[in-house]
Chain A
Amino acid sequence: MDLNTTFWFFEKVKDDNLCLLYNGLISDDITNKLIELSEYNINNIEGLSKMRKKASFLMAECFQNIIRHGEMVTDLEKHTNNSFFLTRNWNDIYCIASGNLIMKKNIATIESQLKVVNSLSKDELKDLYLQVLEHNEISGKGGAGLGLIEMARKSGHKLQFLFEDYNKSVSYFYNQILLHEEDPSEELPTSHAPISEAVFLHKKMIEKNILVVQKGDFAQESILPVLKIIDNNLKHVFENSSSKKRIFHIIVELLQNISKHCCKNQKISEGIILLGRSNKGYIINTGNYIENSKVEVLRNHLTKLNSMSKEDLKSLYFSKLKERYIPESNGAGIGLIDLARKIATPFVFNFHPIDDQKSFFSIHIVA
């Protein structure tokens, strides 16, 4: 991924209060962290907390479907590591989607189950649920039917699904459910984020080799669970605790910069972070709005740091370290100096003008 990827994703999910996209291996460990983060996100959005239980249930069900149907393609999955998970919130709608590889020969069964479930009313679903519970007969594939029925019942909306060719014998199976605080019998407008949009976002992530995209509030209390997931993820990826820590450090500094300096949108420290991989290592992109009046100072600071040698950066760092702390200076940019010392290539950054007030600041770091 490059610098421009940040704004591309930000624009796509601009109206979301929060958006979490994950493209990678789905294991029990990661499942738990993703649910934890999503629960945390839900709790922090006014009016959504009532949906927390339902949403957690549906997420867990999604993951179980991935793990269950994915069994036969485990080897392939391990090779590609491209299962997909999404949660998004806009207005009072909460959206959960997942995508994973399945054997094509199973499509017919899954599709017919989905069609049956989608054709039934609330009461009929309840009857079917009890019937399956008793006779355990809807599917040959251990209880897959029950999961889908429960998803439909809890959501109160039709299950959206889509199959995408992967190769001759394997397909991606995507499904998406919406949760809505108001009367669930009311049909929801799906034009904002149809399931094809989820597929589109996933494809972009695969193309750009992106692991995680999170857009939302980056106040300190919100970044703690994000950091937990990253920390956990990094532990799996790196044998060496030093590179893990270096990447973790870059992420902390960037997120805390957003929290401190971004232009607040209704008191929310809105920003986006993308984590990706390249043959050179890990890539961290962040983006946030900043006031136009702050653009020049930040641009000059970054340009100056980029032009300095490691030796000069070191002495600048030490002089900042030894300076007495002055409350008004707000850290006086020691974070960026520290980052400049830690990264191999200069900062790549851009200010995209939005309007009279603000610009979109994005930064791209190869760790």
Chain B
Amino acid sequence: MEKPFFFAGTEDKPKINFDPKNNTFEISGNSYPEESPKFYIPLIDWITEYSAQPNDQTQVICKFEYFNSLSAKLLYEVFFELQKITEKGKPVSISWYYHQDDHFILEKGQEYKNVLRIPFHLIAF
């Protein structure tokens, strides 16, 4: 798949750069939009499309500053959609970055790690 998914990021929406050609999958910043579903559903749809012909390896990097509860739910759907790719025999992993003092982001990462069945790395910086 050639077409990347890019969003520049705003005060309340994260920066997203999913670019298969360059094998870059990054999401970072804040996420507390008024309509989390409206924001995340296009990304989920993009992943569904991408999963038809995924790269040999998909390594997703998450560097969140803050996200609200509804974003947390939609992010789960994003990860769940990514997880489906592994059924095709193409590995997917998630690297979850958190500031070493930031229990909020760490805890959220631990929660996802517990409920997902793909390699989920918690990385302090």
Residues on A close to B: CB < 8 A? Answer: 219-220, 224, 228, 240-242, 245-246, 248-249, 252-253, 256, 259, 318, 320-322, 324-325, 327, 331, 334-335, 337-339
Is B103 interfacial (CB-CB < 8 Å)?
yes
Indicate if the CB atoms of A335 and B104 lie closer than 8 Å. Answer: no
A335 touches B115 (CB 8 A): no
**In contact, B37 and A325 (Cβ under 8 angstroms):** yes
- The B53-82 residues at the A interface (CB cut-off 8 A) are 66, 68-70, 72-74, 76-77
Q: Which of B12, B76, B99, B102 contacts A322 (CB 8 A)?
A: B76
Contact A241 B115 (CB under 8 A): no
Proximity string of chain B (80-98) to chain A, C-beta cutoff 8 Å, 1 when within and 0 when not? 0000000000000000000
Closest-CB distance, B124 to chain A (whole angstroms): 13
Which residues of chain B are near A327, meaning CB under 8 Å? Answer: 37
Q: How far is the CA of A6 from the CA of B12 in the complex (A)?
A: 27
B11 — nearest CB in chain A belongs to which residue?
A224
Please list 19 pairs of residues, one from A and one from B, whose beta carbons are closer than 8 Å in the complex, sorted by A's number.
A219-B34, A224-B12, A240-B101, A242-B101, A248-B66, A249-B66, A252-B32, A259-B34, A318-B115, A321-B72, A321-B73, A324-B77, A325-B37, A327-B37, A334-B73, A335-B68, A337-B69, A338-B69, A339-B69
**Contact (Cβ within 8 A) B103 A253:** no
* Cα distance, A241 to B34, chains bound together (Å): 24
For the complex of A and B, the 3 pairs showing the least CB-CB separation, nearest first, are A220-B34, A338-B69, A242-B103
A249 CA / B101 CA spacing, docked (Å): 16
Contacts of A248 in B (CB 8 A): 66
What's the dominant secondary structure at chain B's contact region?
helix
> What residues of A have a CB within 8 angstroms of the CB of B36 in the complex?
331
Residue B33 is within 8 A (CB to CB) of chain A in the complex: yes
Across the interface, which residues of B come within 8 angstroms of A320, CB to CB?
73
Q: Scoring B residues 23 to 48 as 1 if CB is less than 8 Å from chain A, else 0, what string do you get? A: 00000000011101100000000000
Contact B12 A256 (CB under 8 A): no
Among the interface residues B68, B76, B115, which one has the most CB atoms of the partner chain A within 10 A? B68
The answer for the CA separation of A327 and B40 in the assembled complex, in Å, is 12
Provide the residues of chain B in CB contact with A318, threshold 8 Å: 111, 115
Q: Are A325 and B104 in contact (CB under 8 A)?
A: no
Assess the B69–A335 pair: CB atoms within 8 A. Answer: yes
Q: Which residue of A lies closest to B12 (CB)?
A: A224
Contact (A256, B34) CB under 8 Å given A245-B66, A245-B102, A245-B104:
yes
Known: A240-B101, A242-B101, A321-B115. 8 other contacts (CB 8 A): A219-B34, A249-B68, A256-B68, A318-B115, A321-B72, A325-B73, A331-B69, A338-B69
- Asked whether B76 lies within 8 Å of A321 as measured between CB atoms, the reply is yes
Picked from B66, B70, B76, B99, the residue with its CB within 8 Å of the CB of A331 is B70
Q: Is A253 a contact partner of B37 (Cβ separation < 8 A)?
A: no
By beta carbon, the residue of chain B nearest A339 is B69
